[in-house]
Structure 1
Amino acid sequence: MSFNNNNKRYNDYSSFIKKKFSERVQKISLNTGFTCPNRDGTKGVGGCTYCNNNTFNPNYCKPSKSISEQLDSGIAFFSKKYKTQQYLAYFQAYTNTYADINLVKELYLEALNHPKVIGLVIGTRPDCINDDLINFLSELSKTYYISLEFGVESTLDKTLKMVNRCHTFKETVDAYERSKNKGLHLGAHLIIGLPGESKEDILNHATKLSKLPINTLKLHQLQVVKHTMMAIQLKEKPEMFSLYSSEAYIDLVTEFIALLRPDIIIERFISESPAHLLIAPKWNGLKNFEMVAKIDKKLVEKNLWQGKHYVENF
């Protein structure tokens, strides 16, 4: 057992960033105005049952503005607090590879043309990537930091179907296989506590994710927010849900960490939806840094660390 420079019992994102870059790096969220194949009728309608993109789009991030204008607004916002830092253009809302490939390339190049941008972080679905785009990003990675994040959300097809993702876990595996060894920093996103998933199911996600060629993992608790199908389901069929208390979530996450491949960087553990949109669970206003501190403490109490229960040849 060995801990990192922050004395964390897991690979934390902050330590990775400090090691990777010479100065502070800030992500600037961007909105391309793209949609998703489970919204526009290509694969489905209505989008994911839990999704309300207003829960994570900052005020400066409006698709009516150009990419350069959004970057300028974001940098103006963050530079008030930090005078010297570099920026990553974060294509966050909806599916950021889901458009005409020439338009996609044009927007990525516009972002990279900004003098203060040193790389891209691209959030997308595993069924919305192709070899042409992967090869384009691979070329960019020779000069810039390029992170490609796939919304895995669950490794169970029954769950993916229930939440209207309209893709399978096999498609997730295929997307990572096509993207690996291309110079890209590969990320994964997982929601803990989706309807119908047991504790065993959730811990098994850690085992399955560890088999994927991912560098970074984002975790967060299921949050039911207003103006979503899930909000209606919670009201009409509350028995569908097993929403975690903060204490139960912390306990579960520590077990999850212990099963995870030791080299995976954990970028986050929770998400904070705006209070005016959040329906449940409400954790008495616990902030991200407070939850991280509680997770750190619980790992010590249980004598757990990342990879303690990881089995390489499963």
Structure 2
Amino acid sequence: MLYPWGDERRFNSYAGYFRRLLGGRVQKVTINAGFTCPNRDGTVATGGCTFCNNEAFTPSYCTPDKTVATQIAEGIEFHANRYRRADRFLAYFQSYSNTHAPLERLRAIYDEALRDPRVAGIVVGTRPDCVDDGKLDYFASLARDRYVALEFGIESCYDRTLRAVNRGHDFECARRAVEAAAARGLHVGGHFILGLPGETDRMLVEQTERINALPLTTVKFHQLQIFRGTPMAARYAARPEEFRFWDLPAYLDLFTEILRRLRPDLVVERFAGEAPPRYHVGPTWGLIRNDRLLALLEKRLEERNAWQGELYGATTAPRHE
């Protein structure tokens, strides 16, 4: 069976998206360009989001003392053995808020990345409160002949949750930023954390309707992971009863319900996260890689004869609470 996105997978996968868009496999190369965050440096607040530890997901070759060009070269070499089919790469600016700087600095950094002929485009991770018309117009000019995506950390559609994790912006701010970027023809991604304190399974399923209403191209979902050295880790140590964690089968069931309601054209880049065990506090799923997680999700979808968008637009209650 062919699904609306044009292949036989039961969800609109990131790999399939790039095969259709660019004709083959494309690999991300992570870059740390030395940005900080307005939620840390006092522009918005200090202390950062309570869950944030950038070191937990930044590869070892990424250090801001190296030039962007050097990090790209080392990143391509790092991935060469594992992803031999990839011959084009995306420079992925992941650490902190990668539009939190004057436009002149952004031009220098992103122009440098795009000078490498192996780089097919850039993916810029940032916050919804770190873009303005001038920056968005600059990225739109780059997108005339390269792939350019802005990936916004949204994390939750509930303002109460955003306040509780010291996010520093509300959902309306995220909506405005996504709409402004999409209006300029940019590819727009949204990142969401599933399992933040106070959010029930029903809330997580119901927020899919708000996600569907955003003009996003791609979505990332991660289960809540508590990292050492964060304010959330301290709160977990003091009040563990406020937190809940799914075992992997239960999480697969929850995400299946989200996926059944997710807009069919939304590209699912990730549905779960992984980080080195040394960073974790609290329950984990152990050492399980993303490719194995994807295989388990696809098996669960097949077992339940479910697929992305199956209930898009419906108000059917979840099968599992």
Provide the TM-score with structure 1 as the length reference: 0.95
Partner of 1:159: 161
Displacement after TM superposition at 1:272 (Å):
0.5
SS in 1 for 2:136: helix
CA distance in 2, matches of 1:168, 1:308: 30
Distance verdict in 2 for CA 1:41–1:84, change over 3 Å:
closer
Are the aligned partners of 2:15 and 2:25 in contact in 1 as well (CA < 8 Å)?
no
CA distance in 1, matches of 2:46, 2:194: 24
Listed one character per residue, the Cα deviations across residues 43-102 of structure 1 (whole Å, up to 9, x for unaligned) are 111111111111111111000111111111112222344276011111100000001111
Are the aligned partners of 1:34 and 1:99 in contact in 2 as well (CA < 8 Å)?
yes
CA distance in 1, matches of 2:153, 2:140: 20
SS in 1 for 2:128: coil
Displacement after TM superposition at 1:264 (Å):
0.5
CA distance in 2, matches of 1:183, 1:166: 27
Q: Which runs of 4+ in 1 moved over 4 A?
A: none
Query: Which AA in structure 2 matches 1:49?
Result: T
Query: Which AA in structure 1 matches 2:77?
Result: A
Partner of 2:14: 13
Which of 169, 183, 204 matches 1:181?
183
Query: Which AA in structure 1 matches 2:304?
Result: K
Are the aligned partners of 1:155 and 1:205 in contact in 2 as well (CA < 8 Å)?
yes
Unmatched 5+ stretches in structure 1: none
1:113 maps to 2:115? yes
Distance verdict in 2 for CA 1:250–1:181, change over 3 Å:
same
Displacement after TM superposition at 1:16 (Å):
0.8
Which of 248, 251, 254 matches 1:252?
254
Partner of 2:39: 38
SS in 2 for 1:146: strand
Q: How do 1:1-80 and structure 2 match up within 5 A?
A: 2-3=2-3, 7-80=8-81
Distance verdict in 2 for CA 1:156–1:132, change over 3 Å:
same
Partner of 1:240: 242
Displacement after TM superposition at 1:278 (Å):
1.4
Listed one character per residue, the Cα deviations across residues 216-263 of structure 1 (whole Å, up to 9, x for unaligned) are 011110001111111111110112111111111111000000111111
CA distance in 2, matches of 1:65, 1:51: 23
Listed one character per residue, the Cα deviations across residues 182-237 of structure 1 (whole Å, up to 9, x for unaligned) are 22111110100011101111112211000000010111100011111111111101
CA distance in 2, matches of 1:116, 1:8: 29
Query: Which AA in structure 2 matches 1:58?
Result: P
CA distance in 2, matches of 1:227, 1:6: 43
Are the aligned partners of 2:90 and 2:119 in contact in 1 as well (CA < 8 Å)?
yes
Are the aligned partners of 1:142 and 1:183 in contact in 2 as well (CA < 8 Å)?
no
CA distance in 2, matches of 1:5, 1:168: 35
Partner of 2:318: none
Q: How do 1:77-88 and structure 2 match up within 5 A?
A: 77-81=78-82, 82=84, 85-88=87-90
Which of 143, 146, 151 matches 2:145?
143
Query: Which AA in structure 1 matches 2:181?
Result: S
SS in 2 for 1:201: helix
SS in 2 for 1:293: helix
CA distance in 1, matches of 2:57, 2:295: 23
Displacement after TM superposition at 1:301 (Å):
2.3
Provide the TM-score with structure 2 as the length reference: 0.93
Listed one character per residue, the Cα deviations across residues 97-126 of structure 1 (whole Å, up to 9, x for unaligned) are 001111012101010112221110000001
Question: RMSD across aligned C-alpha pairs, in angstroms?
Answer: 1.6
Identity %: 42
Are the aligned partners of 2:61 and 2:74 in contact in 1 as well (CA < 8 Å)?
yes
CA distance in 1, matches of 2:9, 2:221: 17
Are the aligned partners of 2:128 and 2:152 in contact in 1 as well (CA < 8 Å)?
yes
How many pairs are equivalent? 313
